[in-house]
Structure 1
Amino acid sequence: MRIVSTMAMALALGGALVAAPGYAAKKEDKAAASKATPAVHKAAFEAQKAAEAGDIPTALTNYNAAKAAIANDDDKFMVGQIGYAIYQKNKDEALQGEAIDLMVSSGKAPAETQAKLLVAQGQIAYNKRDYAKALTALQAAQAAGAPDADVIPMIVEANAASGQTLQALKVLDAGITKLRAANQPVPIEWFQRGIAIGYRAKANPADIPAINNATLEISKQWVAADPQKKNWSAALQIYQEQFKLDNDARIDVFRLMRAAGVLSGDADYREYADLVYLRFPNEAMQVLQEGNSKGIVNLTGKSDASDVMGIVKGKVAADKASLPTTDKSARASASPKGAISTADAYVGYGQYQQAVDLYKVALTKSGVDAGLVNLHMGWALALAGDTAGAKAAFAAVTGPRKPIADFWVIHLDHPTTANAAAS
């Protein structure tokens, strides 16, 4: 979400703003010029003539005389035009800002030109860190019909720079929604900038939950629009940090990352294995073996990974053999915990139908966390290749794990792509 430089904005405005007041060729220009008071008209004429001859000191002298004689809005517009014409010669940014302010305040510019002037006014104010003025101008530009692509990034940045992080994200979300409603593509940098603003927020503590939720929603849209591995990894990392997930929720995120193929380094594989090896030894073993096969995890020599691998290798056979017994006990128990844990273990061994059956049993038990069970059922069904069933299970997830279910659905609808080559 790049902010255009003041110079670039000046070039964008160009000479279209400047009509020669004294000897314009077009009839409409002469008519506009005639509305100015005689003193302003005469001084403006001399200023423009000097500017075109390259005599900037004389042009400025007459410009100041014209400015001093301003008596009405037509005078303001003419003096602003001449000031801008001189700016195009001497590149005095203070003069540029003054000229644009005069034209804006006159209200005499044609509608399309007024919108451009307001954009330029907002840009100049932003560069001067006058964020209140920038926001006033840019919001007026938007109301006047300036293209969203010109104003939304700057409104977002002005809000963010003035500490209004939540408002910045709200503006961005509204802009994204508007573009999508019009079937227009959303620039990928809009998502990236919104996430950066939300992630780095140093806001009023009362705003933090809303900022985190807004960042989460932008993150979801980002990976749906551009599902590169690095984007998935970044989005899920930010989600974990902002929402301070407990270990069980982090396991759920790692399971999604593994399915999406976005475990991004040795630390991811080792942390995943560390979180599950005591309860689900086969899942830990598979994770470490996968990381090793990709050349990411070193299982030779003395290391945490090799230690964990040594432990789980000796537990897998007995753990798998115990499943029929734990399954029977889980079904008979009044608590859902055994059914959930045993179903999770079934998934680790690739026994997806057994897992789904047991998750359904868990849902019938008193005190069950239905959101958790539906999330894990969706996980099993997704790995089994039952996309429709998985999405139905994820749709039933409510509560704190709903974001993970939402990310799962995005993954199913938008398969991960390789990272784009650096340009």
Structure 2
Amino acid sequence: MKFVSTMALGVALALGGAAIVGVAPAVAKEKAEKPAKAKSYNLSKPVREAVAAAQAALAKGDAATAQASVSTALAAATTPDDKYVASSVQYEIAAKSNDQAKISDAVDGMLASGVAPADQQVQLYAVQGKLAYNAKNMAKSEQALQQAVTLGTTDPDVYALLVEAKARAGKPAEAITMLETSIAKQKAAGQKVPSEWYGRGIAIAYGAKLPNETERLTQAWLADYPASNNWRDSLITYRDLHKLDADYNLDLMRLMRTAKALKGERDYSEYAEAVYLKYPGEGKSVLDEGVAAGMVKLTAGSNFKFMSDQAGGRVAADKADLASASKAAKASATGKSAAATADSYLGYGDYASAIDLYNVALQKGGVDANTINTRLGMALAKAGRKDEAKAAFAKITGPRASLAKYWMIYLDAPAAA
């Protein structure tokens, strides 16, 4: 499906997709920013001597001797201080050559010693989680990154990678919860949330068939990044995860059209087929827009040409009937004819007449108020009456409340090219 290709595959995964290299310098930077208080360690004689030899060799650039000496220190280590210091020196040596396996062992050793300084532990757990992720050990990665979060990390990359670790460990709901926590923290700090975060979260939620989570993330994404392509992906994804009746699907496509999110022959064909007979004015204008956009060709014998000719041939008579239909609708005992006539006016872009008749339909009753308020909100939005449109959308309950929310997001953040 197009959503998967444009979102899941096309997105540069800022949520941990890139390989993690240079872990040692990153930790060194963290340490430089938050220097730990000097602490004395009580080392056993064998460990003290081996560590001293390793550090001396490291200072001379003799990596082989340094490694041999630190291996001796690690083997002789029996106390927490012994294990922490020997592992710290192992870390220094491994960092010189960026030996990921030895860096991982060293970090594990420092944490397992139980005496790593409190201000260092959050960085150590973050590195442990990143290294485990690279090694495809998702259980270890998730546990370590979660601990870094628990200890108060402010690094958004840790949250992002934890999202990915949970997703790959088969915990999509937990991954989305963590992502939304990270988004909230990012916004609370006054920082813009990367579009890729939303993209990855939507891909996770969509892949796991989590409709509520997908809806929340697409709506948050559109509020921050209201590009027309994003509108299309969001609304198509919403539709794929819900069973929409024909009227609801048509109203969703009307929002897609408004957001300039109709793409390709399939979108225009589906829309036109839904309206060209019942609302010929709307059908003709949709097809004309498709032609102007270069996405529809009225080739002789094609379905597009047939629909365009059928709709075009009905427009004059249909428009001529609207005045009398409007008068009859206002005299009717129920609001059904008023709603139907308002729909026709909406298709012709006569929003003032549509608004008038939708209100008549609501007053007379006998119609589905949620459907009428949806279309009243559309007409008001297209007429530039934003506050009134929001008021109409706010009255909608049930399944259509989701579509109403997308419309209200559009009113505040119109689609960008």
Using the size of structure 1 for normalisation, the TM-score is 0.88
What residue in structure 2 maps to residue 311 of structure 1?
Answer: 310
What are the equivalent positions in structure 2 for 1:10-409 lying under 5 Å apart?
Answer: 10-14=24-28, 31-32=39-40, 34-201=41-208, 208=209, 211-331=210-330, 336-365=335-364, 368-409=367-408
What residue in structure 2 maps to residue 5 of structure 1?
Answer: 19
> Structure 1's 398 and 182: CA in aligned 2 closer, same or farther, altered over 3 A?
farther
Question: Secondary structure in 2 aligned to 1:6?
Answer: coil
Separation in structure 2 between the aligned mates of residue 150 and residue 290 of structure 1, nearest angstrom: 43
Residue 43 of structure 1 and its aligned partner are, at CA, apart by: 1.5
Question: Secondary structure in 1 aligned to 2:252?
Answer: helix
Give the alignment's Cα RMSD to 1 decimal: 2.4
Question: Secondary structure in 2 aligned to 1:175?
Answer: helix
Q: Letter of the aligned partner of 2:164 in structure 1?
A: E
Question: Secondary structure in 1 aligned to 2:102?
Answer: helix
Deviation string 1:75-104 (CA, Å, 9 cap, x unpaired) is: 221011111112123433221111001112
What residue in structure 1 maps to residue 4 of structure 2?
Answer: none
Percent same amino acid among aligned pairs?
Answer: 42
CA contact (8 A) 1:283 1:348 kept: yes
CA contact (8 A) 1:6 1:120 kept: no
Separation in structure 1 between the aligned mates of residue 172 and residue 333 of structure 2, nearest angstrom: 48
Deviation string 1:213-258 (CA, Å, 9 cap, x unpaired) is: 1111111111111111221121122112122433222211221122
Question: Is 335-344 or 375-384 further displaced after alignment?
Answer: 335-344
Residue 366 of structure 1 and its aligned partner are, at CA, apart by: 5.0
> Structure 1's 367 and 179: CA in aligned 2 closer, same or farther, altered over 3 A?
farther
Deviation string 1:183-206 (CA, Å, 9 cap, x unpaired) is: 3321221111111212223xxxxx
Deviation string 1:387-406 (CA, Å, 9 cap, x unpaired) is: 11111111222211122211
Separation in structure 2 between the aligned mates of residue 166 and residue 334 of structure 1, nearest angstrom: 50
CA contact (8 A) 2:156 2:186 kept: no
CA contact (8 A) 1:39 1:69 kept: yes
CA contact (8 A) 1:107 1:114 kept: no
Q: Letter of the aligned partner of 1:344 in structure 2?
A: D
> Structure 1's 183 and 92: CA in aligned 2 closer, same or farther, altered over 3 A?
closer
CA contact (8 A) 1:374 1:394 kept: yes
CA contact (8 A) 2:268 2:287 kept: yes
What residue in structure 2 maps to residue 21 of structure 1?
Answer: none
Residue 118 of structure 1 and its aligned partner are, at CA, apart by: 0.7
Question: Secondary structure in 2 aligned to 1:380?
Answer: helix
Question: Secondary structure in 1 aligned to 2:285?
Answer: helix
> Structure 1's 368 and 177: CA in aligned 2 closer, same or farther, altered over 3 A?
farther
Separation in structure 1 between the aligned mates of residue 336 and residue 70 of structure 2, nearest angstrom: 82
What residue in structure 1 maps to residue 7 of structure 2?
Answer: none
Question: Secondary structure in 1 aligned to 2:152?
Answer: coil
Q: Any unmatched runs of 5+ in structure 2?
A: 1-13
Deviation string 1:332-383 (CA, Å, 9 cap, x unpaired) is: 5565443322211111122222222222232245553222111110001111
Deviation string 1:157-203 (CA, Å, 9 cap, x unpaired) is: 011001111111111112212222333321221111111212223xx
Q: Letter of the aligned partner of 2:238 in structure 1?
A: Y
Separation in structure 2 between the aligned mates of residue 367 and residue 38 of structure 1, nearest angstrom: 92
> Structure 1's 362 and 128: CA in aligned 2 closer, same or farther, altered over 3 A?
same
Separation in structure 1 between the aligned mates of residue 342 and residue 159 of structure 2, nearest angstrom: 48
Q: Letter of the aligned partner of 1:12 in structure 2?
A: A
Q: Letter of the aligned partner of 2:340 in structure 1?
A: S
Question: Secondary structure in 2 aligned to 1:185?
Answer: coil
Using the size of structure 2 for normalisation, the TM-score is 0.89
Separation in structure 1 between the aligned mates of residue 134 and residue 144 of structure 2, nearest angstrom: 13
Separation in structure 2 between the aligned mates of residue 157 and residue 15 of structure 1, nearest angstrom: 24
| Structure number with higher relative contact order (C-alpha < 8 Å, ≥ 6 residues apart) | 2
Number of equivalenced pairs: 401
> Structure 1's 98 and 156: CA in aligned 2 closer, same or farther, altered over 3 A?
same
Residue 411 of structure 1 and its aligned partner are, at CA, apart by: 1.4
